[in-house]
Structure 1
């Protein structure tokens, strides 16, 4: 979760002589709203994210001579194996998806990263950076109107109304797909040979 692996990869590429002049490297991170901070930003995950940001600064110093850059991209909340394991985050994402889909601003993984590349990294212009030097593609999530609606829904959620007040169905579907379940075109009732491939 921290920047050590990123640094090691960049060191290995440089030592192998395969880093092109002007190479760009980017690490994905997340900040999110204050409701998630006690468990996320203020916890061990947050410390790891700060290490990623510190690593970006070191990498920028190392890449400067060849015209390269290292960025941290602050991304939108999405259903991932990591985010699904963090308390409160799945509930937050379920509420967020409902609000953003209603406002037609929701982006999945592909759309979000396309916007990162097409509008920030490879469009011939300088990326839009915040005061800490990070690219912010969480802007649609952190829009004040979106966050106000999520904040209003948060205290209303109960076990009984979860499916009505949030987009739990989409969250659940995306979560299952991470592990190969709920995919179109797969016959989950078909007989499977557990010894397949063994001699």
Structure 2
């Protein structure tokens, strides 16, 4: 009985490690070749596994993208947790901007974002996989900036605009192939704070 449990545990760990390798390989292929030009055979070859083995874990390319969406959700949960741990709204805004900008401006993340956005325009199922992540970010920031002077609906609209600003600047930095500099982060934060504190926020 103990041996069976151990064998099952070892199998589960082997499966987890193999799936992680396949997802990382898929990300590399998507970044290097683009999602549209990457086939399952390309991923299998780069990962050093048979195509059949890849299909055993992921029936299709969309399943790999779904796994990437779950990884993104976990990464954004870290951003949300850092914001939730803040003592005051200004600190929470600082934390949100810095954390989310660093997350988006990573060069691999930036290229992958462009690829997934392009794919989502053609495939509503892909868009659905990632739309919950945006909703989570908007809700997190809206809770921080909403106060007695600003209705929740307005805070949601403002949060969406702030997130668009962060993502746009992060893409420009990330697609240049560089890590964000401290002055990039400081300039973005200064811009967001000015936007939030003018006109009734």
The question of a shared fold, defined as TM-score above 0.5 by the shorter chain, is answered with: no
Please, what TM-score do these two structures have when normalized by structure 2?
A: 0.31
Higher strand share: 1
Q: TM-score, normalised by structure 1?
A: 0.31
Higher helix share: 2
